[in-house]
Amino acid sequence: MTVTDTLTPDASALRLALTQVDPARRRKDRFMRGLIYAAFVLAMIPLVSLIWSVLANGLGRFDLYFLTHSMRNVYGGMDAGGVYHALLGTLLITGLAALISVPIGILTAVYLVEYGSGALARSVTFFVDVMTGIPSIVAGLFAFSLFYLVVGPDSRSGFVGAVALSVLMIPIVIRSTEEMLRLVPNELREASLALGVPKWLTIIRVVLRTAVAGITTGVMIAIARVIGETAPLLITVGATDSINRDPFEGNMMTLPVYVYRQYAAGLVPCTPGDAACIPTINYDRAWSAALVLILVVMLLNLVARGVSRWFAPKTRA
């Protein structure tokens, strides 16, 4: 046993015991502290580098022209082209997806919290968990197969993409809404029911009303989550260079797919001396579109946070 035996302690032995921790232990403590700080710094590197690269490479072409023009009749190394058609497509498709997901998501959450019991509720909860884990590409395959079987081979349209995004979005909406509804105190429900208000009206006027800020936040975050999805749109909506305002007919461009397509187009082989030809134009557009995409996502997140902060029910007087 190595415990310091101080049956007849003199002050110096005690001082030693009070001031000295085994140096090996101290070293290990410092070492682990260093590792943990390093882990954090390490994780910051990609974040900072990514944001820096997007800003440094994307700001160059990020202007009003870029936001208001499509890629129609843009070819080669032309100093032209923008993301208007992609921005429009992204907003239309994500909007449609939200239109599908939000009612289903909220109603399912209402079912789980207000009505759910027994085997059906348990299996819904379980399968919502399963849905959360569906890879986005599989959601795309599903939407494609569905419309392929129902509509036929020429089924690509914005709507198919919206269905794919809905598969990804619905479980997020359900989870966050469920969480918010469970926060509504039971006393409120009972007070309303005791006044003779029917249950459906109680749910709409009291429960959902109380939770509306939290639900809105959850929906915005869900939208922010799916608005950057690329893979399912790649296989269900395809791509186009022109503006398509009809989400039920024909290919549409979306921002994430635009980023990918511009990147995939690669360097332009310019004839030497051709000043009008920019070899890196496709990469430049990809970066600028990535900047637009990140700005859209950040805006959604900020608004979501704002909603939860400003419109939260005033629980404290």
Partner 1 sequence: MAQRIDVKDLNIYYSDFLAVANVEMSVDPRSVTAFIGPSGCGKSTFLRTLNRMHEVIPGAHVQGTVAMDGIDLYGADVDPVAVRRQVGMVFQRPNPFPTMSIADNVLAGIRLNNKRISKSDAEEVVETSLRAANLWNEVKDRLNRPGSGLSGGQQQRLCIARAIAVKPQVLLMDEPCSALDPISTLAIEDLIAELKSDYTIVIVTHNMQQAARVSDRTAFFNLAATGQPGRLVEIDDTSTIFSSPREQATEDYISGRFG
Partner 2 sequence: MASPTTATTPPVTPVRTPRRRSRPADRGLDRSFRYVAVGSGMLILATLASVAIFLIIEAMPALTHEDLASEIPWIPKGGDLWSVVGPLIFGTILAAIVSLVVAVPVAVGIALFISHYAPRRMANALGYVVDLLAAIPSVVFGLWGVMVLAPKVQPVWQFLVDYLGWIPLFAGDAHGNASNPPRVLMTTSIVLAVMILPIITAVSREVFLQTPRLHEEAALALGATRWELIRMAVLPFGRSGVTSAAMLGLGRALGETMAVLMILSPGLLYSFKLLVASQQQTIAANIAARFNDANDIGRSTLIATGLALFVITLLVNLAARAIIARRKDFSGAN
Q: Which residues bind partner 1 (CB under 8 A)?
A: 1-7, 9, 11, 14-15, 17-22, 25
DSSP string, the chain: --S---SS--HHHHHHHHH---HHHHHHHHHHHHHHHHHHHHHHHHHHHHHHHHHHHHGGG-SHHHHH---TT--TT-S---SHHHHHHHHHHHHHHHHHHHHHHHHHHHIIIII--HHHHHHHHHHHHHHHT--HHHHHHHHHHHHHHHT-S---BHHHHHHHHHHHHHHHHHHHHHHHHHHS-HHHHHHHHHTT--HHHIIIIIIIHHHHHHHHHHHHHHHHHHHT--HHHHHHT---SS----TTSB----HHHHHHHHHHH----PPTT-TT--TTHHHHHHHHHHHHHHHHHHHHHHHHHHHHHHSS-----
Among 95, 136, 303, 312, binds partner 2 (CB under 8 A): 136
Partner touching 114 among partner 1, partner 2, none, CB below 5 to 8 Å by kind: partner 2
Partner touching 287 among partner 1, partner 2, none, CB below 5 to 8 Å by kind: partner 2
Smaller CB distance to partner 2: residue 18 or 317? 18
Draw the binding track, 83-102, toward partner 2 (x: CB under 8 A; -: no contact).
--------------------
Partner touching 54 among partner 2, partner 1, none, CB below 5 to 8 Å by kind: partner 2
Q: Which of residues 232-291 bind partner 2 (CB under 8 A)?
A: 234-235, 238, 256, 259-260, 263-264, 283, 286-287, 290
Closest separation in Å from C-beta 38 to partner 1: 23
Interaction between residue 128 and partner 2 (CB under 8 A): yes
Smaller CB distance to partner 2: residue 88 or 293? 293
Closest separation in Å from C-beta 23 to partner 1: 11
Q: Which of residues 160-199 bind partner 2 (CB under 8 A)?
A: 167, 170, 174, 186, 189-190, 193, 198-199
Partner touching 11 among partner 1, partner 2, none, CB below 5 to 8 Å by kind: partner 1
Draw the binding track, 12-51, toward partner 2 (x: CB under 8 A; -: no contact).
---------x---xx-xx--xx-xxxxxx-xxx-xx-xx-
Q: Which of residues 193-232 bind partner 2 (CB under 8 A)?
A: 193, 198-201, 203, 224-225, 227-231
User: Between helices 84-110 and 209-227, what is the axis angle to 10°?
Assistant: 140
